[in-house]
């Protein structure tokens, strides 16, 4: 297989990353009954012979010895990474994949990007190269980070730049957690907008995530479980919020449930590249089909189902409900309203026992209520992967390139301007080597341009459909 | 003569596999409804055509499998081998790891040149195993990146490497509502390029086959496997051995050549459509009987009314009265919805084929005015029943069958091109706006030619 390499940066990035590896192991264990190291496993894990201690050679076939995650974990604080190394995943990582420091970035993008970026550049490049060396074929990097802080935001986007320089042919997907409304980090608007410029210019695809949406999903599930409507018939391991171990909801940290959702997003996104199906969908296809213009690469994701009921047969109607849910705001990972905005493109990645006729029936059913841009009226990209996620018979991940992200960006811009106009906290940034006022003005300009591109498309919505005249051939 | 099949991309490999399955199951079955000698001739002719004798317990398909990602080929090889009836050659495949990303330019401009030598070597090896090479049969979809882009490049290479061999491209037309968002771009680029190097394009439309699965085969949850099996049956009904008027008492030995020569008299017209009747679920076969006059009547009406299957045929459509049309390039006197033909091939298999009256297909009013029905129509027959159908009739038609689908695809692609959406994804790999324009021009020309029949 051609591999995807996750790079987790910062506290949030690593917390999500940790959940991701946990669930990936579980997913592969469920499918791989014989303990043979296969192509699917190799997409996320190396098989290392550690019998003679330490780092043995990579084993490409046969029995599983010791699985090592293909990953890079970067944090300028030690807390999260140390926890991972002391927890149940400690054998999945080794020190060659970690880059840590002690003091953190103080919620300052400039510290993350300019200071630590400069300081750790060579180290990061070397470790990236080492990790990439173990990969026969590298298709995509996944950066996992948050936008509002200093490390994930600043150093994360520095790594993004670096990836473009060092591995220009490899796709760069970024999962970005955007700051929530009640974010207690005062400078998060600065950090986010400075990071946005980097995402605009260097990412192939961005999956924005908002904590509010994750929180709402977690609450929704709790309500369903506690309301007694479902009772004990919910399959615990099917919850999009649950960790791989048996449900220890009481002991789970509050963010674990939310982070599991993001981890599941990544698992579903890569499922078709790892497992077989009648209509495969690789990550390069996602980028190709969902990005009509280079900078419009922000995708709204929705996951369904959020849980499965045990011992229930799934009639067609339930299956159709899954498709409807994918277009309901309850299942989205950002707060946006795609149904009232304009779709540029939409991808449906289905897993499990679902047929092309189910796909077609549901696309026909849902199409009329969605607005697609005039030049992409049938803009659907579909994938069918045979292997469902753990605990489910089928699942659906919808990715939409939709102008509904515009309000999120406008809000970000407004919050930024509120601080910037007063020059609040600017000195914390400007005294960092390499930071200038122009960094700020360029960043806000980049964001404004992006908003403008979306506005221009929005303006075409509902307008008269005028097909351009066809070429005339002289007879 | 033998046919070398080249399976390209996920679709090409999935279909190719079903085709060899269908062919093998047909010759290994005991439902030939004919004499033992007949069966043996049929079996031998089919074996020579599609399988090579190698040191192996089961026949080895004359095929080359190509894909830019490994999962499909890996599956295809193992499923075939497990059947116990046939298999693919152990070293007849080539795959890479990263796929083509649904990007025609990636398939054509990057993967093509990069892997040209390896792929051509595989084809050469397969061709050398044939006592006499009858030509190449490539299977691909237009919608993705490998089958379409790499497929177009490989076809060009085949033409260059084998200038006198026949090349027939089996092309899958994607569902109208997306499998792939850039499918119309990929289709336009594929068709325009194939037109230059291929001898003929034999088309199957996913939407049509899907309807056949739903309405005729009664399949409730239709999978791609179901679709592919119907396609395989239809292809088998064309390429399994038959007698032609010229072949006398032997099974014809040059199916591709014979097909091309009569169906493609003019290089401007290469689009071939396929109709096969009857189609029904296997468990209904035992309870159904058909008469040849009935089947022929339906097939002919499907031709002139451009019906996609044997249900829902518009019987109102009638050919124009001869003598009433003004000899000109504009068919102003042809009734609406009437499907004008360049050439038609009817293939009959099964009981009593020797006595079938096919006069209705020789009606001059079916054909463009510059053709004579003697040249424009041929029939191939065999008493040997195909795939358990007591009687089976297939029509391969060079007519306006594909005019509307072609016009649709070009229209949608043009619409998208006007906004320049996704173009940067192609220019990244060396396909420029000019290349698009060339392709659009070429296809508008084809559309214009077929329209003015």
The domain segmentation of chain A, as residue ranges, is: 4-244+253-406, 407-460
Give the number of other CB atoms < 10 A from CB of residue B358.
Answer: 18
| Nearest-neighbour CA in chain A from B175: distance (Å) | 9
| Nearest-neighbour CA in chain B from A290: distance (Å) | 8
Q: Is A379 on the interface with B (CB under 8 A)?
A: yes
- Any residues with CB less than 8 A from the CB of B37 and at least 6 apart, and which? none
Sequence-ordered strand ranges (E) for B157-294: 167-173, 200-205, 271-277
Q: Are B179 and B143 a contacting pair, CB within 8 Å?
A: yes
- Cα B395 from Cα B248, distance rounded (Å): 21
Report the residue from A279, A292, A374 with minimal CB separation from B422.
A292
Question: For every one of its 453 residues, what pLDDT tens digit does chain B have, with 9 covering 90 and above?
Answer: 999 999 999 999 999 999 999 999 999 877 788 888 899 999 999 999 999 987 778 899 999 999 999 999 999 999 999 988 999 999 999 999 889 999 999 999 999 999 999 999 999 999 999 999 999 999 999 999 999 999 999 999 999 999 999 999 999 999 988 789 999 999 999 999 999 999 999 999 999 999 999 999 999 999 999 999 999 999 999 999 999 988 888 899 999 999 999 999 999 999 999 999 999 998 888 888 899 999 999 999 999 999 999 999 999 998 887 655 444 444 445 556 799 999 999 999 999 998 899 999 999 999 998 888 888 999 999 999 999 899 999 999 999 999 999 999 999 999 999 999 999 999 999 999 999 999 999 999 999 999 998
Instruction: Reduce the DSSP state of residue B241 to 3 states and report it.
Output: coil
Q: Is A463 on the interface with B (CB under 8 A)?
A: no
Enumerate long-range contacts of B222-228, CB under 8 Å, 24 or more apart: B222/A355, B222/A356, B222/A357, B223/A278, B223/A355, B223/A356, B223/A357, B224/A278, B224/A279, B224/A356, B224/A384, B224/B14, B225/A278, B225/B14, B225/B18, B227/A356, B228/B14, B228/B15, B228/B18
What is the tens place of the pLDDT at every residue in A66-92?
A: 888 999 999 999 899 998 888 888 889
State which H helix or E strand residue B94 sits in. strand B93-95
Written as six digits, the tokens of B447 are 């559309």
| Nearest-neighbour CA in chain A from B411: distance (Å) | 7
Mutate to test the interface with A, among B12, B421, B429 (most CBs of A within 10 A): B421
- Any residues with CB less than 8 A from the CB of B142 and at least 6 apart, and which? B148, B171, B172, B173, B174, B183, B186, B187, B190, B191
Write out the DSSP string of A267-288.
Answer: HHHHHHHHS--SB---HHHHHH
Name beta bridge partners: A47: A67
Q: Are B129 and B148 a contacting pair, CB within 8 Å?
A: no
Distances, alpha carbon B429 to alpha carbons B101, B107, B111, B196, B205, in Å: 12, 9, 10, 21, 28
Which pLDDT score, from 0 to 100, does residue A313 have?
Answer: 52
Interior angle at CA A281, CA A280 and CA A282, nearest 5: 120
Q: Are B141 and B148 a contacting pair, CB within 8 Å?
A: yes
Report the residue from A294, A363, A473 with minimal CB separation from B448.
A473
Q: Are A392 and B432 a contacting pair, CB within 8 Å?
A: no
pLDDT along chain A (475 residues), means of 10: 90 93 89 84 85 70 85 92 88 89 93 95 94 87 95 97 95 95 88 97 97 90 72 70 59 75 93 89 93 97 81 63 93 94 96 92 94 91 93 92 96 96 95 95 97 94 83 79
Asked if B75's CB is within 8 angstroms of A293's CB, the reply is no
Angle between helices A156-166 and A117-133 (to 10 degrees): 50
Distances, alpha carbon B71 to alpha carbons A1, A47, B96, B300, B320, in Å: 8, 20, 10, 42, 52
Closest-CA residue of B relative to A43 is B97
Distances, alpha carbon A165 to alpha carbons A4, A135, A148, A202, A474, in Å: 18, 19, 25, 10, 49
Report the residue from B98, B219, B445 with minimal CB separation from A2.
B98
State which H helix or E strand residue B218 sits in. none
Report the residue from A2, A380, A470 with minimal CB separation from B178.
A380
Which pLDDT score, from 0 to 100, does residue B334 have?
Answer: 53
Which pLDDT score, from 0 to 100, does residue A379 have?
Answer: 84
- Cα A92 from Cα A85, distance rounded (Å): 9
Closest-CA residue of B relative to A378 is B177
Q: Are B381 and B242 a contacting pair, CB within 8 Å?
A: yes
Tell me whether the CATH fold assigned to B2-272 matches the one assigned to B282-320+338-400: no
CATH topology of domain A4-244+253-406: Rossmann fold (3.40.50)
Q: Mean of the per-residue pLDDT values for chain A? A: 89
CATH topology of domain B2-272: Rossmann fold (3.40.50)
Q: Could you tell me which of B251, B259, B117, B145 has the C-alpha nearest to residue B201?
A: B259
Tokens 């074996």, located at residue: B47
Question: Strands B200-205 and B271-277: what pairing?
Answer: parallel
Instruction: Reduce the DSSP state of residue B367 to 3 states and report it.
Output: strand
Query: Which CATH class for the A407-460 domain?
Result: mainly alpha
Instruction: Reduce the DSSP state of residue A328 to 3 states and report it.
Output: coil
Q: Give the right CATH number for B282-320+338-400 from 3.30.1330.20, 2.50.20.10, 3.90.79.10, 3.90.550.10.
A: 3.30.1330.20
- Cα A35 from Cα A32, distance rounded (Å): 6
| Nearest-neighbour CA in chain A from B413: distance (Å) | 9
- Cα A285 from Cα B99, distance rounded (Å): 9
- Cα A223 from Cα A239, distance rounded (Å): 13
Closest-CA residue of A relative to B413 is A375
- Any residues with CB less than 8 A from the CB of B93 and at least 6 apart, and which? B64, B65, B66, B67, B73, B77, B122
Domain boundary assignment for chain B: 2-272, 282-320+338-400, 404-452
Task: Please state whether the predicted TM-score (pTM) of the whole model is above 0.90.
Answer: yes
Report the residue from A285, A291, A375 with minimal CB separation from B415.
A375
Written as six digits, the tokens of A95 are 């020190």
Asked if B98's CB is within 8 angstroms of A137's CB, the reply is yes
Please count the residues of chain A: 475
- Cα B435 from Cα B185, distance rounded (Å): 11
Quick one: how far is CA B260 from the chain centroid? 12
- Complex prediction ipTM: 0.90
Which pLDDT score, from 0 to 100, does residue A248 have?
Answer: 44
Q: Is A469 on the interface with B (CB under 8 A)?
A: no
Which pLDDT score, from 0 to 100, does residue A31 have?
Answer: 85
- Sort out which chain A residues have CB atoms less than 8 A from B422's CB and list them: 288, 291-292
Report the residue from B97, B180, B448 with minimal CB separation from A136.
B97
Q: Could you tell me which of B13, B8, B16 has the C-alpha nearest to residue B232?
A: B16
- Sort out which chain A residues have CB atoms less than 8 A from B440's CB and list them: 471
Instruction: Reduce the DSSP state of residue B229 to 3 states and report it.
Output: helix
Which pLDDT score, from 0 to 100, does residue A94 have?
Answer: 84
Note which residues in 94-113 of chain A have CB less than 8 A from chain B: none
């Amino acid at each position: 297989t051609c591999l995807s390499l996750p790079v987790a940066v910062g506290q949030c990035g690593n917390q999500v990353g940790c959940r991701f590896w946990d669930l990936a192991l579980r997913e592969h264990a469920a499918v791989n009954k014989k303990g043979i190291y296969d192509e699917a496993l190799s997409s996320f894990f190396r098989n290392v012979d550690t019998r003679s201690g330490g780092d043995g050679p990579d084993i490409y076939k046969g029995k599983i010895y010791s699985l090592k995650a293909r990953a890079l974990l970067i944090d300028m604080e030690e807390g999260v990474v140390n926890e991972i190394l002391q927890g149940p995943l400690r054998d999945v990582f080794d020190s060659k994949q970690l880059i840590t420091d002690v003091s953190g970035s103080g919620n300052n993008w400039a510290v993350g990007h300019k200071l630590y970026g400069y300081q750790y550049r060579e180290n990061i490049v070397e470790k990236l190269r080492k990790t990439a060396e173990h990969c026969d074929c590298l298709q995509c990097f996944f950066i996992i980070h948050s936008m509002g802080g200093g490390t994930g935001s600043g150093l994360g986007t520095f790594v993004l730049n670096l990836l473009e320089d060092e591995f220009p042919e490899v796709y760069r997907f970024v999962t970005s957690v955007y700051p929530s409304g009640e974010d207690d980090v005062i400078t998060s608007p600065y950090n986010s907008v400075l990071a946005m410029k980097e995402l605009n210019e260097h990412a192939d695809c961005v999956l924005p995530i908002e904590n509010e949406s994750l929180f709402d999903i977690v609450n929704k599930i709790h309500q369903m479980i506690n309301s007694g409507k479902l009772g004990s018939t919910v399959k615990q391991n099917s919850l999009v919020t649950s960790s791989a171990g048996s449900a220890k909801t009481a002991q789970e940290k509050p963010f674990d449930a939310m982070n599991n959702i993001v981890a599941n997003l990544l698992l579903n996104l890569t499922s078709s590249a790892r497992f077989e199906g009648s209509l495969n969908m690789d990550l390069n296809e996602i980028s190709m089909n969902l990005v009509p213009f280079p900078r419009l690469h922000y995708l709204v994701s929705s996951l369904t189902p959020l849980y499965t009921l045990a011992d229930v047969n799934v009639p067609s109607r339930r299956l159709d409900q899954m498709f409807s849910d994918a277009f309901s705001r309850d299942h989205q990972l950002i707060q946006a309203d795609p149904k009232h905005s304009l779709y540029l493109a939409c991808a449906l990645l289905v897993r499990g026992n679902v047929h092309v006729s189910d796909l077609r029936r549901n696309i026909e059913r849902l199409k009329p209520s969605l607005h697609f841009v005039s030049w992409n009226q049938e803009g659907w990209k579909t994938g069918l992967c045979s292997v469902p996620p753990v605990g489910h018979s089928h699942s659906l991940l919808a990715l939409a390139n939709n102008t509904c992200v515009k309000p999120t960006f406008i809000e970000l811009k407004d919050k930024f301007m509120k601080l910037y106009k007063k020059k609040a906290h600017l000195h914390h940034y400007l005294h960092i080597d390499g930071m200038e006022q122009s960094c700020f003005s360029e960043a806000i300009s980049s964001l404004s341009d992006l908003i403008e591109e979306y506005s221009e498309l929005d303006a075409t919505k509902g307008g008269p459909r005028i097909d351009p005249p066809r070429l005339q051939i002289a007879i | 003569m033998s046919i070398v099949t080249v399976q390209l991309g996920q679709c090409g490999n999935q279909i190719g596999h079903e085709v060899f399955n269908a062919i093998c199951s047909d010759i290994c079955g005991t439902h030939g409804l004919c004499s033992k000698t007949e069966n043996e001739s049929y079996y031998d002719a089919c074996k020579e055509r599609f399988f090579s004798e190698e040191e192996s317990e089961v026949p080895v398909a004359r095929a080359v499998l190509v894909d830019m990602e490994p999962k499909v080929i890996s599956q295809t090889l193992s499923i075939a081998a497990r059947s116990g009836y046939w298999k693919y050659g152990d070293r007849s495949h080539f795959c890479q790891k990263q796929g083509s990303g649904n990007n025609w330019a990636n398939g054509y401009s990057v993967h093509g040149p990069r892997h040209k030598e390896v792929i051509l070597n595989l084809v050469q090896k397969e061709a050398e195993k044939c006592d006499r090479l009858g030509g190449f049969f490539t299977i691909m979809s237009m919608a993705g990146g490998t089958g379409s882009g790499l497929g177009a490049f490989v076809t060009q290479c085949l033409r260059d490497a084998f200038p006198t061999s026949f090349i027939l491209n089996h092309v899958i037309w994607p569902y109208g509502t997306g499998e792939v968002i850039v499918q119309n771009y990929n289709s336009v680029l594929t068709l325009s390029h194939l037109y230059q190097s291929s001898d003929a394009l034999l088309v199957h439309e996913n939407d049509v086959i899907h309807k056949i699965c739903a309405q005729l085969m009664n399949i409730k949850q239709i999978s791609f496997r179901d679709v592919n099996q119907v396609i395989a049956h239809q292809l088998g009904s064309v390429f399994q051995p038959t007698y032609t008027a010229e072949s006398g008492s032997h099974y014809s030995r040059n199916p591709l050549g014979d097909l091309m020569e009569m169906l493609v008299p003019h290089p401007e017209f290469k689009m071939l459509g396929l109709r096969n009747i009857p189609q029904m679920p296997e468990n209904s076969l035992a309870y159904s009987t058909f008469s040849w006059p009935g089947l022929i009547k339906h097939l002919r009406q499907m031709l002139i009314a451009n019906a996609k299957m044997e249900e829902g045929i518009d019987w109102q459509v009638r050919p124009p009265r001869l003598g009433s049309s003004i000899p000109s390039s504009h068919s102003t006197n042809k009734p609406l919805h009437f499907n004008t033909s360049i050439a038609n091939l009817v293939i009959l298999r099964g009981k009593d084929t020797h006595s079938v009256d096919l006069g209705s297909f020789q009606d001059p009013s079916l054909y463009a005015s510059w053709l004579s029905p003697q040249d424009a129509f041929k029939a191939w027959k065999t008493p040997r029943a195909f795939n358990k159908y007591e009687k089976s009739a297939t029509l391969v038609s060079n007519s306006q069958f594909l005019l509307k689908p072609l016009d649709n695809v070009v229209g949608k692609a043009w619409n998208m091109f006007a906004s320049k959406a996704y173009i940067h994804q192609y220019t990244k790999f060396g396909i420029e706006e000019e290349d698009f324009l060339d392709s659009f021009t070429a296809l508008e020309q084809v559309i214009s030619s077929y329209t003015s029949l």
